[in-house]
């Protein structure tokens, strides 16, 4: 993997990131976009395009518009962290955020823990109600819009998926034993969690270099240890040590996920075309 490039246009609220990398079978870049004004056009504000290069010649071999697939990939990363770090009996899921990604996060987490109810909190009551209706039909469990304090205080698993640049809640609202997945911070200055929460939690991430520069833990003290989730999955580092421990996973996404996803999309397309 290589350093992330962050760019913007001359119009406020339009930015993009470029993440690049190479695996044994794929080389390329993922361009992630955020165009704030798209919501007024009835379009998603987030976009995702992956460009694959021919490993033999370096020429362009595929362009994949993968916004929907990227939302699933992001949620899958969250679910993997929940599976590795949350309590086995975690049954109350709180989602802070009401955008497109929030639906996928809840749907993915519900596949790895016995979620019996979902609480939704967001700035727009109307959007929270719409998301609750959609999730209720999909998950067949009670989904309730509520205040952020009530939602955070009740959470066994807490997922934040916003574009916030300041803490969304107070640290003392988080109960002992809660797992927190911070999915929104993906650029300098972004922040969803109160820094006071770091001191009473075990910190995990996907890529340390990214979480310190553009992820949630850019706001964590430099002396605090952060464990890559891969070390937990490999058995090289502990995850949750005791039941009442608070765990935090920060995900900023990385190129190798996007390249692998692109390969699977192409393989599925090729197989479908063959039939």
Question: Among 19, 30, 127, 190, which one carries the catalytic annotation?
Answer: 30
Between CA 130 and CA 76 the distance in angstroms is 23
Helix (H) or strand (E) holding 145: strand 143-145
30 is catalytic: yes
Q: What is the DSSP string of 194-210?
A: -GGGGGGEEEEES-HHH
Helix (H, G, I), strand (E, B) or coil at 238: coil
Bridge partners (DSSP) of residue 92 are: 117
Report pLDDT for 147.
96
Between CA 226 and CA 205 the distance in angstroms is 7
Q: 60-65 and 46-53 as β-strands: parallel, antiparallel, unpaired?
A: antiparallel
Between CA 73 and CA 135 the distance in angstroms is 18
Report pLDDT for 68.
87
Between CA 16 and CA 230 the distance in angstroms is 27
- pLDDT tens digits for the chain (275 residues)? 899 999 999 998 899 999 999 998 999 999 999 998 998 898 888 899 999 999 899 999 999 998 889 999 999 999 999 999 999 999 999 999 998 899 999 999 999 999 999 999 999 999 999 999 999 999 999 999 999 999 999 999 999 999 999 999 999 999 999 999 999 988 889 999 999 999 999 999 999 999 999 999 999 999 999 999 999 999 999 999 999 999 999 998 899 999 999 999 999 999 998 88
* Token pair in block for residue 209: 């270099």
Burial of 238 (0-12, 13-18, 19+ CB in 10 A): exposed
């Amino acid at each position: 993997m290589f350093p992330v490039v962050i760019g913007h246009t001359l119009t406020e609220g339009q930015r993009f990131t470029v993440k690049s990398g190479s695996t044994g079978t794929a080389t390329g870049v993922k361009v992630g976009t955020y165009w704030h004004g798209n919501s007024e056009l009835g379009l998603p504000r987030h976009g995702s395009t992956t460009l694959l290069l021919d490993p033999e010649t370096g020429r362009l071999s595929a362009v994949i518009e993968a916004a929907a697939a990227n939302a699933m990939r992001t949620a899958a990363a969250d679910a993997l962290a929940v599976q590795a770090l949350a309590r086995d009996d975690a049954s109350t899921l709180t989602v802070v955020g009401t955008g497109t990604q929030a639906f996928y996060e809840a749907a993915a987490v519900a596949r790895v823990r016995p979620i019996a109810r979902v609480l939704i909190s967001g700035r727009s009551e109307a959007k929270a109600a719409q998301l609750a209706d959609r999730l209720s039909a999909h998950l067949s469990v009670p989904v309730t819009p509520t205040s952020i304090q009530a939602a955070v205080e009740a959470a066994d698993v807490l997922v934040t998926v916003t574009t916030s640049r300041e803490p969304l809640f107070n640290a003392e609202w988080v109960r002992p034993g809660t797992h927190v997945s911070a999915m929104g911070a993906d650029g300098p200055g972004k922040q969803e969690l109160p820094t006071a929460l770091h001191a009473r939690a075990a910190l995990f991430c996907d890529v340390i270099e990214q979480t310190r520069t553009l992820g949630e833990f850019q706001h964590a003290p430099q002396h605090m240890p952060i464990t890559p989730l891969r070390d937990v999955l490999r058995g090289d580092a502990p995850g949750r040590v005791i039941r009442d421990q608070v765990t935090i996973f920060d995900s900023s996404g990385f190129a190798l996920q996007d390249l692998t996803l692109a390969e699977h999309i192409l393989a599925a397309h090729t197989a479908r075309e063959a039939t």
